[in-house]
Amino acid sequence: MGIIDERLAVIQPVNKFWYKNKVAALDMLRLDLLHPVVSGNKWFKLRLNLKHAIDSGYKAIITSGGGWSNHLAATAFAARHFGIRAFGVVRGKYDELTPTLEACAVNGMELIFVTQEDYKNRHQPEWAKGLVEHFDEVLIIPEGGANEWGRKGAGLISRFINNTYTHVAVSVGTGTTLIGLRDKLDISQAVLGFVPMKQGAYLHKSIADHLQPAQNHNWQLHDQWHFGGFGKWDQPLLDFMNDFYGLNKIPLDIVYTSKMMYGIHEMLADNQFSSHDKVLCIHSGGLQGNLSVKDKLVY
Ligand SMILES: *Cc1c(COP(=O)(O)O)cnc(C)c1O
């Protein structure tokens, strides 16, 4: 699937000054380098869904998200690349389009705006049916690519991760990426999920339900570094991102990876790792969302 060159995803060591030798190694898997829009985990969650749409002869796809959704942006771009018509159901009304939605529209995604209230029905096929014509020919890709194809595709990220890493850290939205990775990584490797929303631990059950039973071990969710909730941030988080960039030249995104790395930093300070551990943090992309704070970042 020629849109992405997966060799662009490199593993970059984080500067030792940042982790103060509290672990033997701390590296980042730079999935953000794959593509500016179809970045990070979104490509992996989409690729088998799009292949399925093409192979099965669907005429279009329909998916959903909020006004800053990395998933909508990635889907719009990738669908256009493959010549697939794409509908995007957007939660909430907007007086003017966010840069994310504008990019979706530029890439030909047909946006359908629904109220927050109405959006709650998004998991019911009957509901989506009312939104587009010729529904039978339209493949529904759930919000965040959270389906079997999404989980399988996310599992392909494990190809980049050798088994010398004792811990793999990943940011969690729907948990699709974490599930794909936990299913594929060696069970001796701990998978640490960081949830950027308040009380995100509620995701524990749905993640456990989707894991292969033999793989439902050695993973955990951390939800305390939410900074007020999903999409919320404060000055200390921005300072953290700017400092991290200064030391490592790695741009973090404001919604997911910044909160994950902040959490890792706190766990290191709190001596929650051993000095023999080797930690791989997954940079899952999402940098297009930084347009919402671009005047506050040094990168
Ligand atoms: C969507 C997204 C996530 C969350 O992925 P899930 O598979 O839904 O858990 C994490 N990081 C970034 C940058 C994202 O855009």
**Cα 297 to averaged position of ligand 1 atoms, centre (Å):** 21
Question: What is the atom index within ligand 1 of the atom nearest the CA of 172?
Answer: 9
Q: Tokens for 31?
A: 């999935």
238: pLDDT strictly greater than 90: yes
User: Do the bridges between strand 60-65 and strand 25-30 make them parallel or antiparallel, or are there none, so unpaired?
Assistant: unpaired
1: pLDDT strictly greater than 70: no
Q: Give nearest CA residue, ligand 1 atom 2.
A: 173
Confidence of residue 182 (pLDDT cuts 50, 70, 90): very high
- Are the C-beta atoms of 68 and 292 separated by less than 8 Å? yes
- For the full predicted model, state whether its pTM sits above 0.75: yes
d(CA 120, CA 91): 9
**pLDDT score for 135:** 76
| For range 206-212, the mean pLDDT | 98
**pLDDT score for 129:** 73
**pLDDT score for 124:** 81
| For range 257-271, the mean pLDDT | 98
Q: Give nearest CA residue, ligand 1 atom 14.
A: 286
* pLDDT (tens digit per residue) in 271-293: 999 999 999 999 999 999 999 99
Which residues line ligand 1 at a C-beta cut-off of 6 Å? 40-42, 70-71, 144, 171-178, 253, 256-257, 284-286
* Mean of the per-residue pLDDT values of the chain: 95
266: pLDDT strictly greater than 80: yes
Question: What's the 3-state SS for the chain?
Answer: CCCCCHHHCCEEECCHHHHCCCCCEEEEEEHHHCCCCCCHHHHHHHHHHHHHHHHCCCCEEEEEECCCCHHHHHHHHHHHHCCCEEEEEEECCCCCCCHHHHHHHHCCCEEEEECHHHHCCCCCHHHHHCCCCCHHHEEECCHHHCCHHHHHHHHHHHHHCCCCCCEEEEECCCCHHHHHHHHHCCCCCEEEEECCCCCHHHHHHHHHHHCCHHHCCCEEEECCCCCCCCCCCCHHHHHHHHHHHHHHCCCCCCCCHHHHHHHHHHHHHCCCCCCCCEEEEEECCCHHHHHHHHHHCCC
**pLDDT score for 260:** 98
Nearest to 15 by CA among 246, 294, 196, 275: 246
Question: Which of 176, 177, 178, 250 to probe ligand 1 with, by most ligand atoms within 8 A of CB?
Answer: 177
**pLDDT score for 3:** 81
259: pLDDT strictly greater than 90: yes
* pLDDT (tens digit per residue) in 102-139: 999 999 999 999 999 999 988 887 787 788 877 778 99
User: Do the bridges between strand 85-91 and strand 11-13 make them parallel or antiparallel, or are there none, so unpaired?
Assistant: unpaired
d(CA 65, CA 82): 21
* pLDDT (tens digit per residue) in 43-100: 999 999 999 999 999 989 999 999 999 999 999 999 999 999 999 999 998 899 999 9
- Are the C-beta atoms of 122 and 115 separated by less than 8 Å? no
**pLDDT score for 137:** 87
**pLDDT score for 121:** 87
List the Cα angle 207/29/272 in 5-degree steps.
65
CA 111 to each of CA 36, 74, 98, 295: distance values in angstroms, whole numbers, following the listed order: 21, 14, 12, 28
Question: Which of 64, 70, 157 to probe ligand 1 with, by most ligand atoms within 8 A of CB?
Answer: 70
| For range 136-157, the mean pLDDT | 94
d(CA 183, CA 213): 9
**pLDDT score for 93:** 86
Amino acid at position 65, single letter: G
